[in-house]
Amino acid sequence: MQNFETFLLENLPTSKSIHPTYEKALQQMLIAGGKRFRPALLLGVVAAYNSLMLDGARHAAYAVELLHTYSLIHDDLPAMDDSPLRRGEPTLHVLYDEVTAILVGDALNTYSFEVLSNAPFSDYTRVKLIQELAKNGGLNGMVLGQAIDCYFENKPLNVADIKILHTNKTAKLIAASLKMGAIIVGQEELGDKLYAFGIKLGLLFQIQDDILDVTQSSEEAGKLTNNDEDKNSFVTILGLDVAMSEANALADELTHELNSFDENLKNELSPLLTKYINRHKN
């Protein structure tokens, strides 16, 4: 992902104006890092089928990261999770103020679609990518998940409903990242298969987050942990042991499905997934 980091740094949003801190605030949480999990998935699919398209695909990977980053900035707001720490750094509303955090989030949300609309693809592909990102990152996707998460704070959900919550909040954007890779290389049928795979992967990812939240320190995680006791989490509902068993079962299932993929795709995604599907075991 070295190339993606370079691309991101060379394509940070810029805004010269009389506002003394706006441009820096726009860039800050993007520079701060993160796992770049979604870009890696998208680029992995592209690398498997057409590595010549990787340069162009970085624009799309960046768009997904922009949308994901805006969501983190807004999730961390005082009205939501009220988190002081993200990606190992103070959150924007702590560094600046709430206004800045709200507006930077708004700007990065819109910018993700601007980046896609100018990405070096055919208009057909640009439109497909925008449809996919908007559908999964929007009102019946990521935002709905966050709305459910916040509304049911302190109101325990059953396992089926918490899966709905996290399918929307986390899994759909992960699934869309894989599918967007398939769209770029013109493999739309594979895209649907990868989308279903990504939904399961996203759920695993969230169960792992919930597990790590109670087993890791804030320093290890780079964000405040043990901060979610009022939130619905798989660990809260299932207990740590059952959540671990679920994570292990999902990890096995995903590994099995991965082995059914084309050789090239398996070779691209395996190193990435092996690292992630086992992270709850450390």
Q: Point out which residues bind a copy of itself (CB under 8 A).
A: 13, 15, 17-22, 26, 70-71, 74, 77, 79-80, 97-100, 102-103, 105-111, 113-114, 116-118, 122-124, 126-127, 130-131, 134-135, 137-140, 143-144, 146-148, 150-152, 157, 161, 164, 168
Residue 114 CB, nearest distance to a copy of itself (Å)?
A: 4
Question: Is the Cβ–Cβ distance between 42 and 178 less than 8 Å?
Answer: yes
Assign 3-state DSSP to the chain and report helix, strand, coil percentages, each to 5: 75, 0, 25
Residue 255 CB, nearest distance to a copy of itself (Å)?
A: 31
136 versus 208: smaller Cβ distance to a copy of itself: 136
52 versus 160: smaller Cβ distance to a copy of itself: 160
Token pair for residue 152? Answer: 């049911």
Residue 49 CB, nearest distance to a copy of itself (Å)?
A: 22
69 versus 208: smaller Cβ distance to a copy of itself: 69
Rounded alpha-carbon distances, angstroms, from residue 260 to 88, 177, 253, 265, 270: 37, 20, 11, 10, 12
SS3 of residue 85 by DSSP: strand
Question: Any idea what the Cα angle at residue 39 is, between residues 93 and 203, rounded to 5°?
Answer: 80
CA distance 56 to 54: 5
Residue 107 CB, nearest distance to a copy of itself (Å)?
A: 4
Token pair for residue 173? Answer: 């954007």
113 versus 205: smaller Cβ distance to a copy of itself: 113
Q: Residue count of the chain, please give it.
A: 282
169 versus 280: smaller Cβ distance to a copy of itself: 169
What element of type H or E holds 214?
A: helix 188-215
CA distance 167 to 165: 6
Residue 26 CB, nearest distance to a copy of itself (Å)?
A: 6
Tokens 């208009």 locate to 123
100 versus 187: smaller Cβ distance to a copy of itself: 100
CA distance 172 to 115: 20
Residue 111 CB, nearest distance to a copy of itself (Å)?
A: 5
